[in-house]
Structure 1
Amino acid sequence: MFAVLSAGIAPTLALMSFFYLKDRFDSEPLTTVFRTFLYGALLVFPIMFIQYAFMEEGIGQTPLIRSFLLTGLMEEFFKWFIFLYTVYKYTDFDSLYDGIIYGVAISLGFATVENLLYLLAHGVEYAFSRAIFPVSSHALFGVIMGYYLGKAKFLTKNVKRSQFSALLIPLSLHGFYDFILETVPSWIYVMTPFMILLWMFALRKVKLANQQEYKNVVVLAEKKSQIQ
């Protein structure tokens, strides 16, 4: 049991630390990040129940529907919904990069519980591949979702478009991820370049968010100097 818990939680700590430490200016309170993580963790059970009900009834069990609707849309929608109606109202959510932190936290909360349940059912020998693929992908979907929700709150007049992008892009990527697993026999040869591109795309959002924070710091410093 201890081995399963350690193997299930370790990738979460590594990924959360990585993205948390990427914030170069004003780190979020750990208590708020952890609370967001718990929101994501609690989402697993109602989503699994709904997915199980569809499976038992034999509804939507083609690879395309299962990948893009029952998994991609359902999981990313609930994370997006919880983000909009909880995190979006945090007083600590005051910069673009904060969106990434909270997006990663809610996604890793979900991924951690899902990962622990999988390892308990199938064995700790799957821990490494689970860390590399599903847990990492959830974190990266969270980066993308958080970036666009941060952009919606702080950077753009097209708020609805950015909010919609925060749902559409992660669910599309998530659906494609599952579709590869379901339909490609030697999936590792397709999944590996997909994950590399996903990392590149997500890290690009991290870079853009930090650049925007740097601009905000410079503008604030200039205003202070003018006042003095």
Structure 2
Amino acid sequence: MDQQDPVEQASDGSDDLYDIATWEERTSVDGLAVALYRLLVASTRVVVILAALLILVGIGGLSALTDPQVGALTLLSALPALALAGYVYYSDVTQNEPLSMLVVTFLLGVLTATFAAILNSLLSNVGQTIAGEFQLALGFLGSVVFYFLVVGPVEETVKLLAVRLYAYSHDSFNAVIDGAVYGAMAGLGFATIENALYITRNLSSSGLDVGSGGVGIIAAGGTITAVRALAGPGHVIYSAIAGYYLGLAKFNKENAGPIVIKGLILAALVHATYNSTVGLGSTVIAGITGLGGLAAFLVYVIIYDGVFGLYLIGKLRRYSQAYHSAHASGPSAASFSSEQTEFED
């Protein structure tokens, strides 16, 4: 509920309180203020998008996406993430989101990923410099700290930014669950450009000329494509969780800030935990089962993404149940018990 000034609270509605305790657009100056505000908001969005595009070009992301061979490998690597994003889309029991909005959010996910690339690199260098000054050996513990304090929060924030830049304020974003749908699309965009850059760098480090084309590029990129295909769905899961809470915040404006932060905390924790444990977990699985490195990695990813994928599915299903209950002639949605605290038994 919007807070009211004491004058407005005490008024019986017969007095004109414009420019005293209330405000609405009336005069030409009011109109100018509204127009300038809208221009400022739109300009800020344009500046952010242009900055992201320039960074994308600068780090080689655009050339990676437009190279036919790398593009083909990237498309293959993105298929599992695309399938998961599609599941989230079809889980929306309200109105289907417009294709144009999904595409825009996907592209913004590609663009805003560049901010994460810059920030991760910059903060990594800062951390290494500080460690060098104090002669600290970072090792595995340093990597874990970096994942939890930098990579997880930064990457989940920029993916949520992709939703906030456009879809959030659109009329089609008219239900809490829409946040999960658009969050998933932003995660898909992030995973796509990340895969393209990883594949390009892997091929270049192998001594192959990416721009030369040929079947050899496709063959050589098979392993890294498989690895990135397994990593991609995680981005969709994390950002769909954060996106769900962004949707919850949109319809609970009095607590919007804490709700958004809660979503980011959950997504960043799940993300950082994956980054911190995937190497060790794959090694343990390989040691126990005798599987090769890629196969052990596959098993670990399936287990990890399966656990938190089920958590996401549970949230989507609870929303679906509440929606159907609220629109049925039977008991009201108010009869549903509240959801357990995250990760409680």
Whether TM-score is above 0.5 comes out as yes
What is residue 98 of structure 2 aligned with on the other side?
29
More helix by percentage: 1
* Unmatched runs of 5 consecutive residues or more in structure 1: 223-228
What is residue 195 of structure 1 aligned with on the other side?
305
Identity %: 25
Aligned-residue offset at 1:18 = 2.0
Q: Does 1:170 align with 2:267?
A: yes
Higher relative contact order (CA 8 A, sep 6+): 1
Cα distance in 2, alignment partners of residues 5 and 80 from structure 1: 22
What is residue 225 of structure 1 aligned with on the other side?
none
Once superposed, what is the RMSD of the aligned Cα atoms? 2.6
What is residue 140 of structure 1 aligned with on the other side?
237
Cα distance in 2, alignment partners of residues 17 and 191 from structure 1: 19
1:157-203 superposed Cα distances (whole Å, 9 cap, x missing partner): 53333222111100111111111135556164655432221111011
Cα distance in 1, alignment partners of residues 145 and 266 from structure 2: 17
Name the stretch that deviates more: 15-24 or 140-149.
15-24
Q: Kindly report which structure 2 residues correspond to 1:78-117, keeping only aligned pairs within 5 A, or say none.
A: 78-117=158-197
1:69-111 superposed Cα distances (whole Å, 9 cap, x missing partner): 2210111122234434533212110012211111101111111
What TM-score results when the alignment is normalised by the length of structure 2? 0.57
Aligned residues: 219
1:126 to 220, 224, 227: 224
What is residue 44 of structure 2 aligned with on the other side?
none
> Based on CA coordinates, which of the two structures has the bigger radius of gyration?
2
1:43 to 105, 112, 131: 112
Cα distance in 1, alignment partners of residues 193 and 187 from structure 2: 10
Q: Aligned with 1:158: secondary structure?
A: helix
Cα distance in 1, alignment partners of residues 76 and 283 from structure 2: 25
CA gap of 1:154–1:8, structure 2 versus 1, over 3 A, is same
Aligned-residue offset at 1:31 = 0.2
Cα distance in 1, alignment partners of residues 113 and 257 from structure 2: 27
Q: Aligned with 1:186: secondary structure?
A: helix
Q: Does 1:207 align with 2:323?
A: no
Aligned-residue offset at 1:9 = 3.5
Conservation of the 8 A alpha-carbon contact between 1:96 and 1:212:
no
Cα distance in 1, alignment partners of residues 258 and 113 from structure 2: 27
Cα distance in 1, alignment partners of residues 226 and 302 from structure 2: 14
What TM-score results when the alignment is normalised by the length of structure 1? 0.83
